[in-house]
Each structure stands twice: as structure tokens, then as C-alpha cells.
Amino acid sequence: MRNHYTFRGVKGMRDVFPEAARAYQAWEARAREFFARYGFGEIRTPLVEYTVLFERGVGQGTDIVNKEMFYVPSKDQDEEEGGERDRKMVLRPEATASVVRAYVEQEVDKTAPGVQRYFYMGPMFRYERPQRGRLRQFTQIGIETLGSASPAADAEAVILLHDLLSAAGLPGLTYLFNAVGCPACRPGYIRKLQEYARARTNPLCEDCRQRLEKNPLRLFDCKVDACRAVMAGAPLVQDALCSECRDHQRRVLGLLETSGVETQIEPRLMRGLDYYTRTVFEVVAEGLGAQNAVAAGGRYDHLVEELEGPPTPAVGWSLGIERLLELAPAQEPATAGPDIFIVAAGPDPDRLFYHVTALRRLGLRIGLEYEARSPKALLKKADRLGARFALFVSQTDPETIELKNLRTGKQFPARWDMLDQVVRETG
């Protein structure tokens, strides 16, 4: 590492080179396979949104809005957006509000009525203090189901997440579950919570004293020991649920149990976003320290209305790729390296280039370096890239070649016009 290099990357944002990128690609490919089973289609939303979207959608009392957004200078002079405040822009800190904004703006309820199932993949941005498990640019994969109030939609979302993570063989995962109430029962619970906390304000940190008035459910999110000690005795939302919320929770948990998904009720789990109603859940992992959540989600039945759309119940979740890779860094992807890596290039580079181009047009993945290097060094690189075959061109005749199966070690003569067949038959 150059100690005095002038051009450095932004703190908390990583460069990902090809070998590491393959691990991202493996998760993306695995996720796409599972999403297809459940009928989810991909949605892509912009990285930049107007600030008001997250102020309204995520909530002005949340840490995301108050502390963690990356603001983007705007040259937009379009007055119909509603004034200077509405023209302020940010890099998206999460995707759910963006998906809902797109759903409302494009009037999907009219153009494609019925339940909508979306998945997304891509970078999110939060201006946080970088630490283990927490980056300023991070990658999320997630789903959103819009238009269903059924407990089965909640259970389906959790089962999909469970099966996706199980397929990767990730160790030490716990599925935490809670219900956070609805507009019928949550206001009464919030009053009880505020009464409890107002009688114990001295130990609370300054942030929690503000949360107490603006967003008291966020009191449960504080990591300060004194605040956690106070909240350990706080009234629980589970004791304040209305009959509809209790029934919804019972049905969701029943469906998960019959599907073999073990969950643990965590009555202090609230999640850090204002839009959740009824179901919330989180997947935590051993060995990640304080930032141990690898995936989380829940139901948000009123967010579409909050963003000026029609009444639309919804549920979704997201997972963080970087934390999953930290949990299982040795899990290299099954994504393919080169089918053939050229180890000895032979005497005629132009003829070799012709053959390589023809093979690539047949669909084969060919690794080739134009600068001369020793066969020993190139064999090491072929192995590191996960190549299936090494190809040796005769130093005297560019049409005389040999293949080496890097899995079995067997080396044998071959012909250029048969390479495609040999590779495909070998599997």
C-alpha cells in the first residue's frame, strides 16, 4: 500500500476486484434462482432520489434520515417539484421507499392490477462511521410483495429468505420475530412506553431523549449500555397487540413452523424504520460482533398510502452481501472461471488470436495474456482463476496443441476444431 498516494477511495467504500467480485456474483445468481421459483421479477430504481421520499417514507425520527444520508448537490430548477426542499437529493439509503415510489408514480395498481412481486440488487449508501460489518456503500438484495395483506405473504417472504440462506450453508443463524402493532393498537402502546421512559430520563443519552418525544420505538435500538439497561424493563409491544395483530402473528408463526423455519420471539425487536406494521423479523449470525444482522424485513401496510398511492398492504426484506461474505469468506462461488487458459502461446500470436476469437464466438471462456510469461506462472494463474483446462501451443507449429485437464491432471493432444466438443463433453 502506498502511504502517500494522492488519489484515495472514499472512506467506508471498497474496491472489489474480479476474484472477490465472483463471490458477489455467486450470491446474485443464487438469489435469482430462488426468486424465479417464487415468481419475483427484477425492478431497478435510480441510485439518486429526492430527499423528501425518505423523510416521508422512512421517517424523520430515524437515524437514517437524521444522521446517515449522503446528500447530492442539485441543479434541478423544476419548480413543479414543490420548492427548494423537495429538490434536495440523496443517494438512496435503502430500496423499499424507492420501489414504492416507482409503484405509485407509474400507477402500477391501474396498469397491472393485482399482487406485484419485485426483487432488487444493488448498492445503498449511508453516512455512518465505518467499522466491521458497516460500510458507507454496501450491497443489498431484497424482495417486495405489494398488494397482499395475507399472513401467508409474510410467511412466504421469510421462507424464501430461510431457504436462500440455507442453500448457502451459512452457519449459526437465528431468525428473530416480533409484532410491532398497527394503527389500532400501537398508539396506546407508545403512550405507555413514553410514560415509562419519561420517568427514567436521567440515564438516557441525548439521542434517546430526543427519540422519546419524536420516535419512542427507536429507544429499543440504542446501543448505549445505560439506555439498554433502562429499556430492559420497558413495557413490551407483545402485551399491547390488538386481536387482529395477535391473530396475524399466530397465523404467520404457524405457517413458518409447518414449513420447518424455526423462529425466536424477540419482543424488543423494532427495526429502525417507521413504516413497519405488524410483522418484523431479523436474521442474526454468530461471530459478526455488534453488527450481527445479515438480513431483516417486515410488513409495511401503509407506506404506499404515505407516499400518496392507493391503500396497498406489503411485505419485504433485504440482506447485506458484505456481511454474508464476512460470515463465510471461504465460500467461493461456483461461477465459472475460464474453460481454457492459454499457458504456452506458440510462435504465431496472430494465428493464436484467430483461434481464440473463434472459440469465444462458440461460447467458450478463454483466458489469455498477450505479454510473455513463463508457463509455470500462467499455470498458477489458471489454477487461481478456476480454469478447467490449460492449453499448450507448440513452439514450432501453431496448429499443434495439447490440453491439460486441471481437475484430473491428464494431458493429451487436441485439435483446434475439436476444442469446443472436448470441453463440452468433459462437463
CATH code of residue 406: 3.40.50.800
Q: Within this chain, do residues 153 and 270 fall inside the same structural domain, yes or no?
A: yes
Residue 213 lies in a domain: no
Instruction: Retrieve residue 258's grid coordinates.
Output: 409447518
Is the model's pLDDT at 146 over the cut of 90?
A: yes
| C-alpha span between 177 and 191 (Å, rounded) | 23
Instruction: Retrieve residue 95's grid coordinates.
Output: 430500496
Is the model's pLDDT at 126 over the cut of 50?
A: yes
Of the candidates 153, 169, 186, which has an alpha carbon nearest to the alpha carbon of residue 40? Answer: 153
Of the candidates 51, 96, 55, 98, which has an alpha carbon nearest to the alpha carbon of residue 76? Answer: 51
Q: Within this chain, do residues 149 and 246 fall inside the same structural domain, yes or no?
A: yes
The answer to whether the CB of 279 falls within 8 A of the CB of 117 is no
Q: Within this chain, do residues 285 and 415 fall inside the same structural domain, yes or no?
A: no
Residue 348 lies in a domain: yes
Confidence band of 61 (pLDDT split at 50, 70, 90): low
Q: Within this chain, do residues 408 and 291 fall inside the same structural domain, yes or no?
A: no
Residue 123 lies in a domain: yes
Q: Give CA angle at 267 (264, 271), nearest 5°.
A: 95
Is the model's pLDDT at 354 over the cut of 80?
A: yes
What is the reported pLDDT for 3? 63
Instruction: Retrieve residue 382's grid coordinates.
Output: 489458471
Mean pLDDT, residues 121-139 taken together: 85
Of 157-161, 210-214, 319-323, 392-396, the least confident: 210-214
Q: Within this chain, do residues 306 and 391 fall inside the same structural domain, yes or no?
A: no
Q: Show which of 282, 302, 327 is a domain's final residue.
A: 327
Q: Within this chain, do residues 281 and 360 fall inside the same structural domain, yes or no?
A: no
Q: Show which of 327, 358, 378 is a domain's final residue.
A: 327
pTM: 0.84
Instruction: Retrieve residue 402's grid coordinates.
Output: 495439447
Q: Within this chain, do residues 284 and 145 fall inside the same structural domain, yes or no?
A: yes
Residue 364 lies in a domain: yes
Of the candidates 152, 179, 143, which has an alpha carbon nearest to the alpha carbon of residue 259? Answer: 152
pLDDT in tens, 266-317: 988 887 667 889 999 999 987 666 668 889 999 999 999 999 999 999 999 9
3-state helix/strand/coil string of the chain: CCCCCCCCCCCCCCCCCHHHHHHHHHHHHHHHHHHHHCCCEECCCCCEEEHHHHHHHCCCCCHHHHHCCEEECCCCCCHHHCCHHHHCEEECCCCHHHHHHHHHHCCHHHHCCCCEEEEEEEEEECCCCCECCECCEEEEEEEEEECCCCHHHHHHHHHHHHHHHHHCCCCCEEEEEEECCCCCCHHHHHHHHHHHHHCCCCCCCHHHHHHHHHCHHHHHHCCCHHHHHHHCCCCCHHHHCCHHHHHHHHHHHHHHHHCCCCCEECCCCCCCCCCCEEEEEEEEECCCCCCCEEEEEEECCCHHHHCCCCCCCEEEEEEEHHHHHHHCCCCCCCCCCCCEEEEECCCCHHHHHHHHHHHHHCCCCEECCCCCCCHHHHHHHHHHHCCCEEEEECCCCCCCEEEEECCCCCEEEECHHHHHHHHHHHC
The answer to whether the CB of 283 falls within 8 A of the CB of 193 is no
Residue 26 lies in a domain: yes
pLDDT in tens, 5-51: 678 888 888 898 887 888 899 899 999 999 999 999 999 999 999 98
Estimate the crossing angle of helix 243-258 against helix 151-167, to 10 degrees. 40
Of the candidates 110, 56, 60, which has an alpha carbon nearest to the alpha carbon of residue 312? Answer: 110
Q: Within this chain, do residues 414 and 285 fall inside the same structural domain, yes or no?
A: no
Confidence band of 412 (pLDDT split at 50, 70, 90): very high
| C-alpha span between 421 and 340 (Å, rounded) | 13
Domain count, the chain: 2
How many other C-beta atoms are found inside a 10 Å radius of the C-beta of residue 115? Answer: 15
- Residue 182's identity, in one-letter code, is C
Residue 1 lies in a domain: no
Of the candidates 396, 422, 419, 407, which has an alpha carbon nearest to the alpha carbon of residue 342? Answer: 419
Sequence-ordered list of residues with C-beta below 8 angstroms from that of 133, at least 6 positions apart, any chain: 288, 289, 290, 291, 292, 322, 323, 326
Q: Within this chain, do residues 259 and 405 fall inside the same structural domain, yes or no?
A: no
Q: Within this chain, do residues 53 and 178 fall inside the same structural domain, yes or no?
A: yes
Residue 170: C-alpha distances to residues 15, 173, 328, 408 (Å): 24, 7, 7, 29
Q: Within this chain, do residues 407 and 277 fall inside the same structural domain, yes or no?
A: no
Residue 149 lies in a domain: yes
Domain that holds residue 265: 18-185+241-327
Q: Within this chain, do residues 104 and 27 fall inside the same structural domain, yes or no?
A: yes
Q: Show which of 327, 352, 368 is a domain's final residue.
A: 327
The CATH number assigned to the domain holding 95 equals: 3.30.930.10
Residue 39 lies in a domain: yes
